[in-house]
Amino acid sequence: MRYSTQVKPISYLKANAAEVLLQLTERREPMVITQNGEAKAVLQDVASYEETQETLALLKLLALGNKDIEQGKVTPVGDVVARLRAKPSGK
């Protein structure tokens, strides 16, 4: 995705807020908002934002898992299976 096509000055956002929101929802591409020629903010639709947050949460879990592995904080799968089988089924 090329962000260069989605760069707009803050004056454009002020004058076309409803259109910008519709465009964000339809295209699902973020928009960079500039002020005095400098990038100041990124706008994106809610669905894309939620997907990004879910992805980041999964990546964080993976990173934490990798850290545990590096630190030797692991349990052999056979031990886990044995523990699960030993628990009462609750029937």
On whether residue 10 sits in a domain, the answer given is yes
Among 18, 27, 20, 32, residue whose Cα is nearest residue 47:
27
Number of domains in the chain: 1
On whether residue 86 sits in a domain, the answer given is no
On whether residue 28 sits in a domain, the answer given is yes
Reply yes or no on whether the pLDDT at 63 is more than 90: yes
Q: Residue type for 16, please?
A: N
Neighbours of 51 (CB within 10 A): 13
Tens-digit pLDDT profile for residues 40-60: 999 999 999 999 999 999 999
Domain of residue 28: give its range: 3-45
Span between the terminal Cα atoms of the chain, in Å: 54
Phi, psi of 63 (to 5 degrees): -65, -40
On whether residue 12 sits in a domain, the answer given is yes
CATH number, domain at 41? Answer: 3.40.1620.10
DSSP-assigned beta bridge partners for residue 43: 31
On whether residue 89 sits in a domain, the answer given is no
What is the side-by-side strand order in the sheet with 7-9?
Answer: 7-9, 31-35, 38-43
Give the pLDDT confidence score for residue 5 in this predicted structure.
76
Tens-digit pLDDT profile for residues 65-76: 999 999 999 999
On whether residue 64 sits in a domain, the answer given is no
On whether residue 11 sits in a domain, the answer given is yes
On whether residue 17 sits in a domain, the answer given is yes
